[in-house]
Amino acid sequence: MEKRTSAGGADLLVQGGQVVGESGPKRADVWIEGGRIRAVGTDLGAPASVPVLDAANLLVLPGSIDPQVHFREPGLEHKEDLASGSLAAVAGGVTSFCEMPNTKPATTTADLLADKFRRAAGRCFADHAFFVGATAENADQLGELEQLPGCAGVKVFMGSSTGDLLVRDDSNLERVLRSGTRRVTVHAEDDFRLSERYAALSAGTQVTQHHHVRDVEAALRATRRLLDLAERTGRPVHVLHVSTAEEVELFAERDLGELVTFELTPNHLFLAAPDCYNGPHGTWAQMNPPVREKRHQQRLRRALADGEAACVGSDHAPHTAEEKSKPYPTSPSGIPGVQTTLPLLLTAVRDGWLDWKGLLRAVNVGPRRVYGIRNKGLVEPGVDGDLALVDPRIDGTLEETWLRSRARTNPFVGTELAGWPVATVVGGRVVYRHGNPSGTTQGEPAGRPLTFGG
């Protein structure tokens, strides 16, 4: 077994908590040794030298794996960087993340990928991986790039969003899918349709129209084209931030098994049009693909609860308040949410539309299955000692002062939640503690690259 250094508390006994497994919380202690979980149960017999973390009255969850975040480094650090983004992550119980390539420059080469790992070393609070962005230029190299250590895989933008990554046509998309073997991750909005829709925008169009501008048809067309190509090439694909009931029905009809997996965001699950776009901060809810009406939200919730959807990713996409206050459509799309995914899903469990198994699938089992992440798992012996300790008694409304992202434009501020992470453990080290009411302490940023192939 690989040993982490013991510096920073890589041995730890988490005592007296309610460990959350697929059938729900159960009283147990967790003994982490050398960064890995050695035993879970009562009367573990850990030596007295092992540091103890008191988890009385707390839920002990496996650390969340957020498979979709934008941490903006390099090039856009005024919005976020790897240190601030990963601090927000651990403050939300996220112990591993996969970061997107639409930075500046975009992550499209081996050198640029290596640069991200260099920047992350000693500054990231959570374990991490980075995606390589697909372009027409690098399509033929992607098979090699996706094999680089710590690479989460290839990300394709079929529709224009933040940044300039884009593979809009089927012939280049097919080249991407024929280059390599790992699951390809896709933002599926049809860029041809988007161009038409933006060109036809009349002056004065407001953000309240965002879900009509980037309409259901734009998402559905792209997803249909993608499924055709996945079937033709045999290449597994993962559709990010699915936003429409129609796409969920399409996945069910096409029934392509493991060839196609899909992901949901908390934004589409917990916000709904038109309400989310009303009020002075309407653009705070602006993202691509858009948050849509309640009927979509209801179908997406069912897809999560039933296990049709593989996982949940925050799509944490920070912009400054100043940028977000520009007039639509120049206001940038994106919602910062890495810190609020777990509390929102805990609220779904409390409200009865998601069970514990569904929550664990969303934030741990699912991301591991989609990307083949190794050494992570539920709170069981043999996996990395990554834990999120949640206080179910902190059930008030989300306060802005709790947020650790550089971006404070979180549309969930003021939402009533069913619990809040109060301590986060990565590899046996306590890296974050939530104080009272806003005082916090943090450990060393000792996150490491994720490994794949499981």
Question: Which residues of the chain form contacts with ligand DOR (CB under 6 A)?
Answer: 70, 102, 161-162, 187, 287-288, 317, 333-334
**SS3 category, 183:** coil
In the complex with ligand DOR, the residue whose CB is nearer, 271 or 317, is 317
The answer to whether 315 is a known catalytic residue is yes
284: its two tokens: 């705070």
Shortest Å, Cβ 97 to ligand DOR: 14
Q: Give the residue with the Cβ less far from ligand DOR, 32 or 273.
A: 273
CB of 435 to ligand DOR, least distance (A): 30
In the complex with ligand DOR, the residue whose CB is nearer, 79 or 376, is 79
Are residues 416 and 349 in contact, defined by beta-carbon separation less than 8 angstroms? no
Task: State both tokens at 186.
Answer: 């896709």
User: In the bound complex, what is the minimum distance in angstroms from residue 317's beta carbon to ligand DOR?
Assistant: 4
Q: CB count, 10 Å around CB of 258? A: 10
- 410: helix, strand or coil: coil
Looking at 29, 190, 215, 315, which residue is catalytic? 315
The total of other beta-carbon atoms located within 10 Å of residue 418's CB is: 17
Residues in the chain: 454
Structure tokens at 308: 């049709």
- Are the beta carbons of 88 and 403 closer than 8 angstroms? yes
Count other C-beta atoms under 10 Å from residue 168's C-beta: 18
Burial pattern 420-440, b for ≥16 Cβ within 10 A else e, equals: bbbbbbbbbbbbbbbeeeeee
Output the smallest distance, CB 306 to ligand DOR, in A. Answer: 26
Nearer to ligand DOR (CB atom), residue 197 or residue 302: 197
Q: Which is nearer to ligand DOR, 73 or 384 (CB)?
A: 73
- Least Cβ distance, residue 173 to ligand DOR (angstroms): 16
9: tokens are: 């508390």
Q: Which residues pair with 332 in a beta bridge?
A: none
Residue among 18, 122, 36, 26 nearest 376 (CA): 36
Q: Which residue has the tokens 């399509």?
A: 139
Q: 253: buried, middle or exposed (CB in 10 Å: 19+, 13-18, 0-12)?
A: exposed
- Minimum CB distance to ligand DOR, residue 70 (Å): 4
Q: State how far the Cα of 24 lies from the Cα of 199, in Å rounded to an integer.
A: 51
- The residue among 52 and 201 lying less far from ligand DOR, judged by its C-beta, is 201
**Catalytic site positions:** 315
